[in-house]
């Protein structure tokens, strides 16, 4: 096994570069993964721009597919050479938050479960250390490819959680604002949850077409039509039962609130990088019985197993979200493409 590896490292705002770093060392509860496929997340772009702070020198990335290269002495139930994934959220499974069912907030800290590429070195590298491996590794079924399961660690889990947290019921009308990868997965999650009509909103024609392909009923280009007015008119002024915010801007958050019926649920998934304000009228001065809920991507072994079950069953196919492919050696160009949203990019597969 080599002593050094290539890794995408945060240097300063505006610069993530490929560098040589020492191979990670693992503890008794950890696993070392040889990364076979990973990707770039919108959150990584927030890191690149300096909108989300991480330590200089940190390896970025939190969506690993790989092969077990080494296991800690205390890890049982796995073998070296098995193909696995780990979630973007890697809970310990033992703290108060985990035992209370809030593993994304592991350690009792906001976002405490998000460690890879945030508080410890991530997976845009040739190797990555997975902490608390017994709680986080999930074996990939043989008939599923790397690219088929690549969305599971974050994008699929996050998007589906938007539908789950929104408490979508059979027959609900749902609106989803933004059809990037997370919004598209929220569209799939809404369909699987039983929504009878799904409105999606975006300004990119290709993304709206993909949304229709994945189950959306009404695709609204906000550059051509006012989505709030369209949705209010289409529901005879009633509004939607559930609105999912999948971008993280004031405009999309407020639009979700404006299309929501009294007593409806606003399920927020976006990462907000500025001050968020509440419009008094849309909020009904706080008396509209609205539920506003935020969700951080659920992680852990059982979550990953369930998501792979959905893919294995054929009920969802997210491989079309992979629109571009780069080698790890070319990851700086991949960041340039993804951060500027060129060439119809949705997700980039990175292969060391």
pLDDT, one tens digit for every residue, the chain (352 residues): 789 999 999 999 999 999 999 999 999 999 999 999 999 999 999 999 999 999 999 999 999 999 999 999 999 999 999 999 999 999 999 999 999 999 999 999 999 999 999 999 999 999 999 999 999 999 999 999 999 999 999 999 999 999 999 999 999 999 999 999 999 999 999 999 999 999 999 999 999 999 999 999 999 999 999 999 999 999 999 999 999 999 999 999 999 999 999 999 999 999 888 889 999 999 999 999 999 999 999 999 999 999 999 999 999 999 999 999 999 999 999 999 999 999 999 999 999 9
The whole-angstrom separation of Cα 146 and Cα 123 is 14
The whole-angstrom separation of Cα 169 and Cα 107 is 32
Q: In the numeric block, which tokens belong to residue 168?
A: 């979508």
pTM comes to 0.95
Q: Which class is 4-151+318-351 in CATH?
A: alpha beta
pLDDT on residue 274: 82
Q: What is the pLDDT of residues 164-185, one digit of tens each?
A: 999 999 999 999 999 999 999 9
Q: What is the Cα 273 distance to its own chain's centre?
A: 17
pLDDT on residue 273: 82
Instruction: Provide φ and ψ at 341, rounded to 5°.
Output: 50, 50
Whether the CB-CB separation of 40 and 348 falls below 8 Å is answered with yes
Work out whether strand 291-294 and strand 322-327 pair parallel, antiparallel, or are unpaired: unpaired
Whether the CB-CB separation of 285 and 261 falls below 8 Å is answered with no
CATH number of 156-294: 3.40.50.720
Work out whether strand 127-130 and strand 31-39 pair parallel, antiparallel, or are unpaired: antiparallel
Q: What is the Cα 327 distance to its own chain's centre?
A: 21
Q: In the numeric block, which tokens belong to residue 143?
A: 């008939």
Q: What is the pLDDT of residues 100-134, one digit of tens each?
A: 999 999 999 999 999 999 999 999 999 999 999 99
The whole-angstrom separation of Cα 295 and Cα 188 is 17
Residue ranges per structural domain of the chain: 4-151+318-351, 156-294
The whole-angstrom separation of Cα 104 and Cα 109 is 9
The whole-angstrom separation of Cα 294 and Cα 162 is 8
The whole-angstrom separation of Cα 44 and Cα 54 is 10
């Amino acid at each position: 096994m080599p002593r050094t590896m290539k890794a995408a490292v945060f240097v300063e705002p505006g610069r993530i570069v490929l560098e040589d770093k020492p191979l990670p060392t693992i503890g008794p509860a950890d696993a070392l993964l040889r990364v076979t496929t990973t990707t770039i997340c919108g959150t990584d772009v927030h890191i690149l721009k300096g909108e989300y702070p991480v330590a200089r020198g940190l390896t970025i990335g939190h969506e690993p597919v790989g092969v077990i290269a080494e296991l800690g002495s205390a890890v049982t139930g796995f073998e070296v050479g098995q193909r696995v994934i780990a979630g973007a959220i890697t809970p310990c499974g033992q703290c108060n938050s985990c035992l209370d069912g809030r593993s994304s907030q592991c350690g009792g800290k906001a976002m405490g479960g998000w460690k890879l590429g945030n508080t410890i070195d991530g997976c845009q590298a040739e190797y990555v250390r997975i902490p608390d491996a017994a709680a986080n590794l999930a074996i990939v079924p043989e008939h599923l490819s790397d690219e088929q399961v690549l969305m599971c660690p974050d994008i699929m889990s996050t998007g589906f959680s938007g539908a789950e947290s929104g408490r979508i019921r059979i027959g609900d009308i749902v609106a989803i604002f933004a059809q990037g990868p997370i919004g598209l997965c929220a569209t799939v999650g809404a369909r699987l949850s039983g929504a009878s009509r799904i409105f999606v909103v975006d300004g990119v024609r290709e993304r709206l077409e993909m949304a229709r392909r994945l189950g959306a009923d009404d695709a609204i280009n906000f550059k051509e039509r006012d989505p709030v007015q369209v949705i209010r008119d289409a529901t005879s002024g009633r509004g939607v039962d559930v609105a999912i915010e999948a971008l993280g801007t004031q405009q999309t958050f407020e639009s979700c609130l404006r299309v929501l019926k009294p007593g409806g649920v606003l399920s927020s998934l976006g990462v907000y990088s500025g001050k968020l304000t509440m419009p008094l009228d849309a909020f009904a001065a706080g008396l509209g019985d609205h539920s506003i809920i935020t969700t951080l991507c659920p992680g852990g072994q059982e979550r990953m197993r369930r998501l792979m079950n959905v893919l294995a069953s054929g009920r969802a196919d997210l491989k079309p979200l992979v629109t571009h492919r780069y080698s790890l050696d070319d990851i700086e160009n991949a960041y340039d493409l993804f951060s500027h949203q060129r060439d119809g990019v949705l997700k980039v597969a990175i292969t060391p």
